[in-house]
Chains A and B, each alone.
Chain A
Amino acid sequence: MIPASAFFALAVVLFVLGVVAFFVKKDLLTQFMAVEVMLNAGNLAFLALAKALGKAEGQVIVLFVITVAAAEAVIGLAIIVLVFRQRKTIQTDDLKDLRG
Chain B
Amino acid sequence: MSIRYSLLAILDAGPRHGYALKSEFEQATGNIWPLNVGQVYSTLSRLQRDGLVLVAEEDDGQKTYRISDAGRQELRQWFGTPVVREVVPRQELAIKLVFAMRAGPEQVRDVVQHQLGATMASLQEFTRLKATAEGDGDLAWLMMLDALIFQAEAEARWLELCEARLARLRPRPLTAPENAGAVRDVERTP
Partners in one complex: no
Chain B residues close to A by CB (< 8 Å): none
